[in-house]
Structure 1
Amino acid sequence: MTLLLQLSRAIDWLNERIGKGAFWLVLVMTLISAGNASYRFAFDNSSNGLLEIQWYLFSAIFLLAAAYTLQKNEHVRIDVLSGRLSPKGQAVIDIIGTLFFLLPIVLVILSLSIPLVAESWRINEYSANAGGLIRWPVKLLLPVGFSLLALQGVSELIKRIAFLAGRIADPNSKAETHSAEQELAAEIAAIAKEKP
């Protein structure tokens, strides 16, 4: 179990770094979007390549941060049943969900997406739009993102089994932290107090 917990920590470390890196893509996407909109307004012209890179970045954010979201227990779940269960009951539900839903669907998506990426690479596929971008890099995000999600699923599975065995604390428990909105409000209040 110790070796498996070390593997889980390594997967968590990887997905946390990638997830936090994906946060920066939001800024890049926003700057490109604002720049393209400003250029279009000022010069009555636009670039399909810039529009497509925004879509590519949105895809990257979603797919690369999915595993991080699972790791932080912020994914969408239906708590009607599991919210009423004990922590051990919730861990059992998570194990069943991971084994019978998450990992099988990830494997199906991987088996379907890898041939798409290979074909796109082989034919050097480009967008059909004038000035559009090459397509294989955005298609590559599918197997990469779902591979990271599969790894995180394995990590979460290890943590739930370790919790049931009494080796670690409840992985579903969340530390009391402030939301992003609360942190922003506190920073604004601190700045307001500093001004005379």
Structure 2
Amino acid sequence: MKALLALSRGIDWLNERVGRMALWLILASAIVSALNAVVRKAFDYSSNAFLEIQWYLFAAVFLLAAGYTFLHNEHVRIDVLSSKLSPRGRNWIDIIGIVFFLFPFVYETVRLSLPVVINAIASGEMSSNAGGLIRWPVYILLPIGFSLLGLQGVSELIKRVAFLRGLIDDPLVKKNEKTAEEELAEFVRAKQQKEAN
């Protein structure tokens, strides 16, 4: 099990790095969007390439950060039932979800997208829009992003099994990490206190 936990840590490290890189793509998308608006208003010029690069960047953020989101347990959950379960019950639910839903979905997505990517690269497929971009860079994000998500699924499965065997703490409990809601609440409280003073 030690080797599997080491593998899990390696996968976590990879998705942490990729996810942090994806954060910079959000900034790049905002800059491209702002430049597009300035050029369009100031010089009365527009290009479909500007719009498409924004779509490509958004796709990159969404797909490349999926594993990162899973790593930080920030993906969408339905806690109505699982919140009433014990930690062991919640981890069993995750194991079932990973094995019977996540892995088959990731496998099928990668299997079905690879021929599309290969065909787009071989044909040099271009956007049908005037001034559009080549398509394969955005197509290749699909198998890469889902592969990273699948790898994170492997890591999370290892952690769930290790927890059930009593080898690690509950991986579903966040360690010194605040949720987005907690961070927002703190920000609002600090702002209200500042305005009150």
TM range (shorter): over 0.9
Question: In the alignment, residue 172 of structure 1 is paired with which amino acid?
Answer: L
What is the identity percentage for the equivalent residue pairs of Structure 1 and Structure 2?
59
Shift in alpha-carbon separation, 1:104–1:137, aligned structure 2, 3 A: same
- Aligned residue for 1:118? 118
String of CA shifts for 1:157-178, please: whole Å, max 9, x gaps: 0000000000000000013444
The number of aligned residues is 192
Q: CA RMSD in A?
A: 1.8
Is 2:22 the counterpart of 1:22? yes
- Aligned residue for 2:131? 131
- Aligned residue for 1:54? 54
- Aligned residue for 1:100? 100
Is 2:166 the counterpart of 1:166? yes
Shift in alpha-carbon separation, 1:115–1:164, aligned structure 2, 3 A: same
TM-score of the superposition, structure 2-length normalised? Answer: 0.92
String of CA shifts for 1:18-51, please: whole Å, max 9, x gaps: 0011000000000000010111111222111111
- Aligned residue for 2:149? 149
Distance 1:153 1:175 in 2: 19
Question: In the alignment, residue 114 of structure 2 is paired with which amino acid?
Answer: I
Distance 1:102 1:42 in 2: 48
Unaligned runs of 5+ in 2: none
Q: Which runs of 4+ in 1 moved over 4 A?
A: 182-189
- Aligned residue for 2:31? 31
Question: In the alignment, residue 168 of structure 1 is paired with which amino acid?
Answer: I
The range that moved more, 168-177 or 50-59, is 168-177
Distance 1:177 1:17 in 2: 18
Q: Secondary structure at the match of 1:105?
A: helix
Distance 1:177 1:83 in 2: 19
